[in-house]
Amino acid sequence: MQIAVVGSGYVGLVAGACFADLGHIVIVVDNDEQKLAALNNGQCPIHEKFLPELLQRHRGHRLTFSDDLHSAVAASDAVFIAVGTPPTEEGHADLSYVETVARSISGAMNRYKVIVEKSTVPVYTSEWIRKIILRNAAAPDSFDVASNPEFMRESTAVTDFLYPDRIVVGADSHRCAAVLREIYAPLTDGSYYKRQGAIPRPDRAQIPPLIVTSTKSAELIKHASNAFLAMKISFINAVASVCESVGANVQQVCQGIGTDRRIGPQFLNPGIGYGGSCFPKDLKAFRAVAHECGYEFRLLDEVMHINEEQRRRFLHKVRSALWTLRGKHLAVLGLAFKGGTDDIRESPAISLVETFLQEGCRISAYDPAAHERAREVLNAKVDFADNPYEAARDADALLILTEWDEFAALDLPRLHTLLKYPIVVDGRNLYDPESMAALGFTYYSVGRPAVSPDIPSVEPQPAPKAFKTS
């Protein structure tokens, strides 16, 4: 099919490249001339596994890039809107970019089109898109508006798109639903997975079901999904705080509750809190929608509060390790909000680095992918290292803030010799406390007892039973 994708950010670029890999003819539209020039020159503007290969495979053939929205819409059967929806000061999603695209689409209606929300938007957005297009003189039967929320995670976005748990289609007419069924048919009939050159199948991937709902339900599914996952992260971080208070090990607790099939182990990873472009924004938007409907979603307030508290607790751990912070040299590993991406939006690592700078610390930092983006935010206040060991040289402590695989495989004896003091504060629980103590480190982590070479961790023992006295 002929598809236009409006917006070349994370969602739009990945969706466009994956639609091309499914066999469709795709035009990705953007008004950023610099980005378009880079894409047309074969550059990949974001760090995402398999995306450079797909762009190279389809660029100039099934996948083209353009700034001509009118022509792209006229040539397409379906138009996916994947522009940004940043939060306003009140927490609502800013839908001005979506509205601008809807106005522009109305003038290019030369045959029946399906207009698809791919951006994360609040409920009722599909109705407003339809109103805007109708107000700009499009015939009522010349188009339908659908909601097709994305469930891609940064760092695994390509495989999440091509091997999804489910495909949600919000459509209020059979004709509209039929178009989207055809677009996703290579996934739902399994034919894509049999192709030579298909992106490798991740573990336990199965042929996904296509779930057809109303547009309002589909819009709510995306916000509700992200809110639930953020709640799960905040829940285990709260449990980690209790574990620290009583001397328990949160990883043992996670194993105990995560093997319950009703709960599952996913997102039970204690750390310094969630970040990125989705969870913080979507929770605020979902709460704002609920408030407008007359419902005070207090659970979401607490999820966000716990997430903010987790960063303060990590700051306290560093204080506990070093006593005072002013004048201290801290080595920081990780600046992206998660491993496998260069995205620093709402990154807890960036937030913590800014706090340490305000406390008068000197920071030397290393991230495998996010250096350039972080440099734009942190300016010249941080020394950027070329590898973890350069960052650690003569530092008073090493802080692990992002869960990159390479940070879980450091040469620990070498690290010990480079640090001024062998102190590691691990916000991602990448190492075993007893092993770190055995190697001579004072080691702090999340939800587990701190250890040092002379004071090993001791598992709490049950209280002795009272003896009956006569």
Which of helix, strand or coil describes residue 383? strand
Please give the Cα distance from 267 to 347 (Å, whole number). Answer: 17
Burial status of residue 122 (CB atoms within 10 A of its CB: 0-12, 13-18, 19 or more): buried
**Alpha-carbon distance values, 89 to 22, 253, 284, 285 (Å):** 39, 38, 10, 11
Structure tokens at 429: 């629980």
- 443, β-bridge pairs: 424, 451
* Contact present, 149 and 80 (Cβ < 8 Å): no
**Nearest CA to 357 among 388, 395, 383, 321?**
383
Please state the length of the chain. Answer: 470
Read off the tokens for 268: 């039970």
CA distances from 12 to 52, 86, 87, 211, 416 (A): 14, 15, 19, 21, 44
Contact 83, 112 (CB under 8 A): no
Spatial CA neighbour of 136 closest among 103, 97, 111 = 103
CA distance 218 to 239: 32
Diameter of the chain by CA atoms?
A: 96
Q: What is the 3-state secondary structure of 301-369?
A: HHHHHHHHHHHHHHHHHHHHHHCCCCCCEEEEECCCCCCCCCCCCCCHHHHHHHHHHHCCCEEEEECCC
Q: What is the phi/psi pair of residue 239, to 5°? A: -60, -40
- What whole-number distance in Å separates Cα of residue 468 and Cα of residue 470? 7
Q: Which of the 8 DSSP states describes residue 93?
A: B
Terminal C-alpha separation, the chain: 87
SS3 145: strand
Q: Which of 254, 278, 293, 361 is catalytic?
A: 278
Helix, coil or strand: residue 40: helix
Please state, in angstroms and as integers, the Cα–Cα distance from residue 192 to each residue in 29, 154, 185, 186, following that order: 25, 22, 9, 5
List residues bridging with 213 in a β-sheet. 170
278 is annotated as an active-site residue:
yes
Please identify every residue annotated as catalytic. Answer: 278
